[in-house]
Amino acid sequence: MSKIQMKTPLVELDGDEMTRVLWPVIKEKLIEPFVDLKTEYYDLGIKKRDETDDQITIDAANAIKKYGVGIKNATITPNQERVEEYSLKKQWKSPNGTIRAMLDGTVFRKPILVSNPSVKSWKKPIVVGRHAYGDVYKNAEIKTETGGKAELVFTDAKGNETRETIMELPGPGILQGTHNTNASISSFARACFEYAIDEKIDCWFATKDTISKQYDQTFKLIFEDLFESEYKNQFEEAGISFFYTLIDDVIARMMKTEGGMLWACKNYDGDVMSDMVASAFGSLAMMSSVLVSPHGYFEYEAAHGTVQRHYYKHLKGEKTSTNAVALIFAWTGALRKRGELDKIPALAEFSDKLEQTIIDTIESGYMTGDLAAICEPKAVEVLDSIQFLDTIAQQFQTRQ
């Protein structure tokens, strides 16, 4: 069987720990036997980022701008413990945050549904649209050992200052400054509305504008103004709706729905709530993720981390039952988009078949431990990481 030929390379961003172990195995067993894979490789492992003073992350983002489609492995965002563990120069910023800011994109995370395990109340996917700029991910922080006056100061282009007292601190404390831009919020809103129309699903959005009367309220107003001026008629024609409420209210409502909507979230909300949704649908490893930029760039990744606990077991020579589904779906998503852009329908067909093979394998009872723990009926066989990939590869080979 001849391999599918690619025209343009994918930008491949490698990562850390257990996901780094599985990354090349996925390529070897599930991609390279069927696709003449072309990639431009960037090592975003924590050691290489430290060695290059994080320039490698910037280079990788620029490569995605050049080629249009990237695929990213999970990476470490170091805290102080990680700095000591890997002997790093400092606590480097999140590579995801850097790339998202450079591409000006919105992250859409969608559960990968299987019948076992299934969720009692949620019958349809809940897509989480995460604003990928600003907030705590691009913050400034101060830790003070004494009391004093904390102020928020803005100086405009003419040198005029606006000052707001945050707090008269009576003693030691911590301060955090976050920001966003009207342009980024507008891009986020537009991306969500376009996604909802394309998928023909309702769009829900929520903030805490009753408390944050400038910051969160600006999000609310931009969403509402853009919807009224550009998208209201399109939503009506598509038979879908835009719904706004407070963030605490939307969470309560979400628990009682059957799913089937796009949940547009601010940056931190999307980070946290996408993990909740993924876990409720079965596992953090059962959620696809794509960064969509209004400039025509796409970056596919798994929605989970580096699986640190399994990696430590792997280093001891122990077998792990790490679920690689989201990592595989990152590859299939990127290859499908590459095929769409380069007019290679065989890449899309390959991606569709591989994804269906994964779902069929799990629904036949062959799965990793995270799914087996909540599966009903019980799994036929609980597989370790490599066995799971081998089983998918064998099933996929028979379908060629």
Which DSSP string corresponds to 298-319? EEEEESS---HHHHHHHHTT--
Instruction: Flag the least confident range among 145-159, 251-265, 312-326, 348-362.
Output: 251-265
272 and 171: one domain? no
Burial string for 275-297 (b: 16+ CB within 10 Å, else e) reads bebbebbbbbbbbbbbbbbeeeb
Q: What is the pLDDT of residues 99-111, one digit of tens each?
A: 988 998 899 998 8
Q: What is the pLDDT of residues 196-242, one digit of tens each?
A: 999 999 999 999 998 999 999 999 999 999 999 999 999 999 999 99
DSSP state of 135: G
Burial label for 224, CB within 10 Å (0-12, 13-18, 19+), is: middle
Host domain of residue 125: 120-138+179-280
167 and 134: one domain? no
100 and 185: one domain? no
Residue 12 predicted with pLDDT over 60:
yes
Find the angle CA(83)-CA(87)-CA(89) to the nearest 5 degrees: 70
At 393, the pLDDT band (50, 70, 90 cuts) reads very high
Q: What is the pLDDT of residues 305-352, one digit of tens each?
A: 899 999 999 999 999 999 999 999 999 999 999 999 999 999 999 999
127 and 276: one domain? yes
113 and 127: one domain? no
- CATH of residue 84: 3.40.718.10
221 and 341: one domain? no
Distance in angstroms (rounded) separating the CA atoms of residues 195 and 299: 16
pLDDT of residue 117: 62
263 and 326: one domain? no
200 and 260: one domain? yes
- Percent of all residues in the chain with a pLDDT value above 70, rounded to a whole number: 98
Out of 213, 248, 280, a domain closes at 280
Residue 194 predicted with pLDDT over 60:
yes
CB 267 within 8 A of CB 233: no
94 and 202: one domain? no
Out of 252, 280, 308, a domain closes at 280
Residue 143 predicted with pLDDT over 80:
yes
pLDDT of residue 118: 54
Q: What is the pLDDT of residues 77-121, one digit of tens each?
A: 998 899 999 999 999 988 988 998 899 889 999 888 887 765 456
345 and 300: one domain? yes
249 and 146: one domain? no
Domain count, the chain: 3
Distance in angstroms (rounded) separating the CA atoms of residues 311 and 163: 48
295 and 391: one domain? yes
Residue 9 predicted with pLDDT over 70:
yes
pLDDT of residue 120: 54
